[in-house]
Amino acid sequence: MDYVEITFTCQDGLAVITMNRPDKMNAMNAAMRAEITHVLGHRLEGARAVVLTGAGTAFCSGQDLGDARNTTKLNLERVLRDEYYPMLEALVNCPLPTLAAVNGAAAGAGANLALACDVVMASEAAFFSQAFSRIGLMPDAGGTWFLPRQIGLAKAMGAALFADRISARAASDMGMIYEAVPADEFDAHWRNRGASLAAGPTCAFRAVRDAMRASFGNDLKSQLNLEAQLQGELGKSRDFIEGVSAFLEKRPAKFEGR
């Protein structure tokens, strides 16, 4: 598959998906969604971590409203079910750690695409906005699921109703994202973070994600049992043997992701 609306690279285990419609602030159309979904489902052989970012000055401004000018022909339910949901499920269920490198504006579905990643970091030049109410809609693309879990119901409700711009620093302070980084350091920073994930223990990262997500539906006993199960599996892995050996030998570990 040839990519038109994104670029894709994979080097030293780090796969980088760049939304590439800078003249449209990387607004998503059907082709972009299909291309992101295809990469996540078919192009990650040899990768050990995935970064999602945007070309130019924006991360993603959400749905391309040029696709929606004739609202009598726009079936939002179909678009969400057939185009957005497969992309989001492929991202959320990716077997590799995922990192959103939010280089600029992340609005509407673009904000929630970022929040679907395991870790979100943003340039201090970036902002987040649940812009849906400005055009008479409600948050979608997972926004009503991600936001309350990350920042609590009160903050999530305000973000959705007022559609305010939330700076990267404010997003970090409220727990929406992991960190905000000075703009002039951002590109080097996310690349270093991505390389760290790509060199790390992939199976352990996956277990961390699975356990954290499960905790919202588990009582303490169930969560402790899940921890024991996952840790028992990791204790039999090559990465655990390598990690202990490296610690004892006072050298960096060389993980294989097994």
CATH class of the domain comprising 6-198? alpha beta
How many alpha carbons lie under 13 Å from residue 210 in its C-beta half-sphere?
17
Put simply, whether the predicted model's pTM sits higher than 0.85 gets the answer: yes
CATH 3.90.226.10 residue spans of the chain: 6-198
Helices (H), the chain: 30-42, 76-79, 85-92, 109-115, 143-151, 153-162, 168-173, 186-198, 202-214, 220-234, 238-249
What pLDDT is stored for residue 55 in this prediction? 98
Cβ neighbors of 247 (< 8 A, separation 6 or more) are: 253
- How far is residue 4's CA from residue 1's CA, in Å, rounded to a whole number? 10
Q: How far apart are the first and last CA of the chain?
A: 29
Where do you find CATH 1.10.12 in the chain? 202-249
Q: According to the model, what pLDDT value does residue 68 have? A: 56
Residues in the chain, total: 258
Residue numbers in the chain where pLDDT is lower than 50: 72
Whole-number CA gyration radius for the chain:
19
Q: Is 192 exposed, middle or buried (0-12, 13-18, 19+ CB in 10 A)?
A: exposed
For 137, which DSSP code?
-
Query: Is the CATH number 1.10.12 carried by domain 202-249?
Result: yes
The predicted structure's pLDDT at residue 11: 96
* Alpha-carbon 204 to chain mean position: 18
Query: For position 194, what pLDDT does the model report?
Result: 98
* Number of neighbours of residue 163 by Cβ within 10 angstroms: 17
* pLDDT for residue 75: 87
Q: What is the pLDDT of residue 257?
A: 77
Q: Given this model, what pLDDT does residue 73 score? A: 59
